[in-house]
């Protein structure tokens, strides 16, 4: 793996230049600013790409064209939407709690930003390789409920409140199954550190090495994160036919755009985590001792592997939307508490047995 294409050189050269030009405090401060700007840039780019991808996938599933007016093949459609949202007036309802109403979209956005920290985008390209990376992600992601509940309650609108309450119940419920699925991979790797989890897949991804329990975990994980990001068929928080737009009914202009963006970024983040845990993150496809095959795979840049896997999972989640009808609230909670949670608990025990007995490849 010595010759694998890495972005580590770029990050190291920037750090060395900053340290040689400024004193340590200023260098660190500039690094923070640089990382923040990169994160904002990534957010903006991902927002534009994912909205266009959503529409393209929807059109493909329904055998129609999709966006095809603004720019070549409709490429600039999401840019036009962004300009439209920026130019719209941001209204605050009369009876709303003004402070919380305006704070909620930022809470949703900040949570999404914090989640970027431990994700390894390429070999040696990670904001913060914290030793409890997976725990950090599951802890921070559960804060997003607060932003949604805040938005629903502060809007002073019964539809918004209903949507927020549903969303809260949904996210808290499905977090359990998602957590269990993630734990089953941690049992195999024996580490919460993202770089360790990726390194443990150098001779094969866990989805292949971990036998049937890993596949069950992956299926549960995908279902649970689809529900956690309020995506169809679990989009009860914003069921258009009954709750208008759920917790963001009263939002307009840029505040609505922030919620919208946070939702898409969250989809990217959960898919990135899925790709890291089950498909090796930036790690190329290596098969045991097939040296020549592994060498050829190493020539594909690690960032291409990472984004390829992540966008494959995003496509999968978008595919769900146009395949399954929306569930009712009782069906949604039944699925979690009566089926997914017992299965994932049993699966975790099975995975522990596999890990202790050393049955994985």
| pLDDT per residue as tens digits for the range 109-144 | 999 999 999 999 988 888 888 999 999 999 999 898
Q: Pick 7 or 353 by higher pLDDT.
A: 353
> With pLDDT > 70 as the criterion, what percentage of the chain qualifies?
96
User: Is 166 within a domain?
Assistant: yes
| CA distance linking residue 328 with residue 161, whole number of Å | 18
Q: Averaged over 176-192, what is the pLDDT?
A: 93
3-state secondary structure of 67: coil
pLDDT of residue 345: 95
Judge whether residue 6 has pLDDT over 70: no
User: Is 2 within a domain?
Assistant: no
pLDDT of residue 187: 92
User: Which residues, 6 or more positions from 148, have their beta carbon under 8 angstroms from its beta carbon?
Assistant: 104, 108, 164, 167, 168, 171, 237, 247
Residue 328 pLDDT level (bands cut at 50, 70, 90): confident
pLDDT of residue 232: 77
User: Is 252 within a domain?
Assistant: yes
Q: Averaged over 6-31, what is the pLDDT?
A: 86
| CA distance linking residue 53 with residue 47, whole number of Å | 10
pLDDT of residue 340: 94
User: Which residues, 6 or more positions from 127, have their beta carbon under 8 angstroms from its beta carbon?
Assistant: 35, 39, 116, 117, 118, 119
User: Is 1 within a domain?
Assistant: no
**Which tokens in the block code for residue 20?**
């040689």
On the CB side of 308, CA atoms within 13 Å amount to 13
**Which tokens in the block code for residue 349?**
């025990």
* Mean pLDDT, the chain, integer: 88
Burial of 27 (0-12, 13-18, 19+ CB in 10 A): middle
Q: Which domain holds residue 93?
A: 8-357
3-state secondary structure of 33: helix
| CA distance linking residue 79 with residue 63, whole number of Å | 24
| pLDDT per residue as tens digits for the range 284-319 | 888 877 888 888 888 888 889 999 999 999 999 999
> What are the E-state strand segments in the chain?
120-122, 125-126
User: Is 142 within a domain?
Assistant: yes
| pLDDT per residue as tens digits for the range 193-217 | 999 999 998 888 889 888 899 999 9
| pLDDT per residue as tens digits for the range 88-97 | 888 888 888 8
CB 311 within 8 A of CB 250: no
| CA distance linking residue 249 with residue 152, whole number of Å | 9
User: Is 189 within a domain?
Assistant: yes
Q: Averaged over 223-252, what is the pLDDT?
A: 78
How far is Cα of residue 63 from the mean position of the Cα atoms in its chain?
A: 28
| pLDDT per residue as tens digits for the range 51-81 | 999 999 999 999 998 888 888 888 899 899 8
pLDDT of residue 312: 96
| CA distance linking residue 136 with residue 142, whole number of Å | 10
**Which tokens in the block code for residue 140?**
């921070």
Could you tell me the pTM of the whole model? 0.92
pLDDT of residue 95: 84
For the chain, the domain total comes to 1
């Amino acid at each position: 793996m010595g010759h694998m294409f890495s972005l580590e050189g770029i990050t190291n050269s920037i750090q060395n230049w900053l340290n040689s030009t400024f004193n340590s405090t200023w260098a660190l401060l500039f690094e923070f600013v640089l990382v923040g700007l990169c994160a904002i840039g990534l957010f903006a780019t991902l927002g534009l790409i994912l909205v266009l991808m959503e529409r393209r996938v929807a059109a493909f599933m329904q055998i129609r064209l999709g966006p095809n007016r603004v720019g070549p093949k409709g490429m600039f459609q999401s840019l036009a939407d962004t300009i439209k949202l920026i130019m719209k007036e941001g209204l605050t309802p009369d009876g709303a709690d003004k402070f919380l109403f305006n704070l909620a979209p930022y809470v949703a956005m900040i949570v999404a930003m914090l989640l970027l920290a431990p994700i390894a985008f390429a070999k040696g390209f990670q904001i913060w390789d914290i030793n409890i990376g997976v725990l950090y992600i599951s802890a921070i992601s559960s804060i997003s409920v607060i932003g949604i509940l805040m938005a629903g309650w502060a809007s002073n609108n019964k539809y918004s409140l209903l949507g927020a309450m549903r969303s809260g119940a949904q996210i808290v419920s499905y977090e359990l199954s998602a957590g269990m699925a993630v734990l089953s991979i941690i049992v195999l790797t024996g580490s919460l550190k993202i770089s360790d989890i990726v390194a443990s897949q150098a001779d094969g991804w866990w989805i292949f090495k971990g036998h049937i329990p890993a596949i069950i975990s992956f299926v549960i994980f995908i279902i649970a994160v689809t529900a956690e990001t309020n995506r169809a068929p679990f989009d009860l928080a914003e069921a258009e036919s009954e709750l208008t737009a759920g917790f963001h009914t009263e939002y307009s202009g840029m505040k609505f755009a922030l919620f919208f963006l946070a939702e898409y970024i969250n989809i990217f983040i959960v898919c990135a985590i899925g790709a890291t845990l089950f498909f090796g993150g930036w790690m190329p496809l290596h098969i045991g001792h097939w040296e020549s095959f592994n060498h050829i795979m190493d020539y594909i840049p690690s960032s291409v592997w990472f984004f390829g896997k992540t966008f494959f999972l995003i496509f999968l989640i978008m595919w769900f939307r146009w395949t399954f009808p929306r569930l009712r609230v009782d069906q949604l909670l039944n699925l979690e508490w009566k089926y997914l949670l017992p299965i994932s608990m049993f699966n975790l025990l099975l995975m522990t047995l596999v890990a202790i007995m050393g049955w994985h490849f």
